[in-house]
Structure 1
Amino acid sequence: MRLHDDHHAHDGGLATDLPLLIRQAADRRRALRWLAGGGAAAGLLLAGCGGGGDDSTATTTTGTGTGTGTSIGTGTSTGTGTTSCSVIPEETAGPYPGDGSNSSNGGVANALMLSGIVRSDIRSSIAGATGTAAGIPLTMRIQVVNTGASCASLAGHAIYLWHCDRDGNYSMYSASVANQNYLRGVQATGSDGVAVFQTIFPGCYDGRMPHMHFEIYRSTNTATSFSNKLKTSQIAFPTDVCTTVYNTSAYATSLRNLGRISFTSDNVFSDGYSTQLATLTGNTSDGYVGTLQVGISA
């Protein structure tokens, strides 16, 4: 322990310094005896000095493990076992969910009942429909965690993901692609809570920021109708990456639409989107990888 003497009173020689040194040694002995005899109380005192907060939508846990971890979306994980997660907000499924909640072309639109809907690559149509959505490749890695259990990974849950094509059209609904069902699919989460989808970078249609829709179900067996869903939300994308993608010739319409909208004016993300913003890596030549951690209270 370094002793500080702000007054620098050392000019009196040994006669002055000796009493000071004796008092300091005695003080140190008293401090050591207090710590030895009252360690538990001292520990409680020190613990009481720490700050804390209460956020019903966030969970933070700290362990002492030495394993390594990864960071997915807004959640964090470190080599010491520290993790944090937040409940993702509930959002509208929009007018084109294809989950049995509305109709299209005179019948109930339910892609969840299509043969082959449980799949990783959602770029092509299935169940007798032919067609493949063109666009810059995007791999979406979505991790589902339980905010009510220290951000534990939720294995075996199902994610239904759907989004528009590069021209802003939704399969099963938009007139030009009403006979298609691409860019829709269901995947089960693995032991790490992650479901992976192979798709394309979504376009930007007029009036909305670029986004994807998803619903979470307890399992693939229950992912057959909107009435079984646990959560509905949307994924946002960084504006700078969207601008880069939309500057390619195939996304020219999306670039114009993006210039007329912002997160501030978007009718879904204007109240906040920090827990919905995907992390993206990659480029327009090789494609992109997007990651997002989705917290639900399960």
Structure 2
Amino acid sequence: MDRKSFLKTLGMAGVAAVAAPVLMFCRKDDEDEDAVTGIINNSISTACAVTNSETEGPFPTKSPSGLVQTNIVSDRTGVPFTIAITVQNVNANCANLQGAIVDIWHCDKDGNYSEYGGTGMQSTNYASAHFLRGRQTTDANGKVNFTSIFPGWYNGRATHIHVHVYNAAGQSLLVTQIAFPEGNDSAVALVAASTGYKGLSGYTYNSNDNVFSDGTSNEMSAVTGTVSGGFALTHTIKVSV
């Protein structure tokens, strides 16, 4: 027996008029709940997503396995700077990843890289130097730490740090870059105005940077501190293992 015949048989023809809006109301509640759940799930999914992949060049470390060190300053001078990176595995609900190999490298206060130079891309020749490059393995909390100096910048790029993450077997998981907050009171601005750095005249901001111009939502670091006391960067990188 269909629903209409059933209601007629019970003498409940009037119930149909009442039941319809009630059913519609319940359905709307269910749809609203599904929509909220979808938003929540999407937010969680977005938060636990692999960090953007970026270019490794043009100055990648040539022999990173020979640069296992936490203090990467070498002979460079500049504002003291510490770097703390946490690596997480998106395939384990973004649990901290122990045993990942993390290589970092960045330019000095003048915008120059070690291991390169004497060419049109970098006139100063540092081909035989190995400053501001290092490798560490993540601990039980998925963390690595480095002691460095605050990076400068060079034409066409905002302030940044390069990172290459490998698994414990040495297989590449992700090449990415770390972006820095900008603004009048940011570390970038304060350091640029300090002794020895070259200021922000001609600086390329994140929004115009050819790497970061598509957004820095999962590449943006947090930087705290002062010029006199030094700055500390913290950042989380998510990989797929």
TM-score interval (norm. to shorter) = 0.7 to 0.9
Amino acid of the structure 1 residue aligned with 2:57: G
TM-score for the superposition, normalised by structure 2: 0.77
* 1:241-280 alignment runs, 5 A limit: 241-252=187-198, 254-258=199-203, 261-280=204-223
* 1:179-258 alignment runs, 5 A limit: 179-219=128-168, 222=170, 228-239=171-182, 240-252=186-198, 254-258=199-203
Name the counterpart of 2:6. Answer: none
**Is contact 1:138–1:201 with CA below 8 Å preserved after alignment?**
yes
Cα separation, partners in 2 of 1:256 and 1:86, compared to 1, 3 Å: same
Query: Matched residue pairs, number?
Result: 204
Name the counterpart of 1:72. Answer: none
Structure 1: how far apart are the matches of 2:42 and 2:76? 37
Q: Look up the SS of the partner of 1:244 in the other structure.
A: helix
Cα separation, partners in 2 of 1:57 and 1:141, compared to 1, 3 Å: farther
Question: Quick one: which of 139, 162, 171 aligns to 2:114?
Answer: 171
* 1:124-163 alignment runs, 5 A limit: 124=74, 132-163=75-106
Displacement after TM superposition at 1:146 (Å): 1.1
Amino acid of the structure 2 residue aligned with 1:121: N
**Is contact 2:173–2:240 with CA below 8 Å preserved after alignment?**
no
Q: CA RMSD in A?
A: 2.5
Name the counterpart of 1:95. Answer: 58
Residue identity (%): 36
**Is contact 1:263–1:269 with CA below 8 Å preserved after alignment?**
yes
Query: What are the superposed Cα offsets for residues 26-85 of structure 1, whole Å, 9 maximum, x if unpaired?
Result: xxxxxxxxxxxxxxxxxxx8898251337999746xxxxxxxxxxxxxx9xxxxxxxx43
Name the counterpart of 1:111. Answer: 63
Cα separation, partners in 2 of 1:58 and 1:296, compared to 1, 3 Å: farther
* Runs of 5+ unmatched residues, structure 2: 1-28, 118-123
Question: Quick one: which of 21, 39, 52 aligns to 2:37?
Answer: 52
Q: Look up the SS of the partner of 1:293 in the other structure.
A: strand
Amino acid of the structure 1 residue aligned with 2:142: G
**Is contact 1:58–1:87 with CA below 8 Å preserved after alignment?**
no
Displacement after TM superposition at 1:147 (Å): 1.4
Cα separation, partners in 2 of 1:230 and 1:46, compared to 1, 3 Å: same
Q: Look up the SS of the partner of 1:281 in the other structure.
A: strand
Q: Look up the SS of the partner of 2:129 in the other structure.
A: coil
Structure 1: how far apart are the matches of 2:52 and 2:69? 26
Cα separation, partners in 2 of 1:47 and 1:55, compared to 1, 3 Å: closer
Name the counterpart of 1:128. Answer: none
Amino acid of the structure 1 residue aligned with 2:33: C
Query: What are the superposed Cα offsets for residues 157-201 of structure 1, whole Å, 9 maximum, x if unpaired?
Result: 010000101100000002332221011110111111111111111
**Is contact 2:187–2:224 with CA below 8 Å preserved after alignment?**
no
**Is contact 1:162–1:185 with CA below 8 Å preserved after alignment?**
yes
Structure 2: how far apart are the matches of 1:97 and 1:47? 51
Structure 1: how far apart are the matches of 2:49 and 2:40? 9
Name the counterpart of 1:66. Answer: none
Name the counterpart of 2:228. Answer: 285
Q: Which one has the largest radius of gyration?
A: 1
Name the counterpart of 1:34. Answer: none
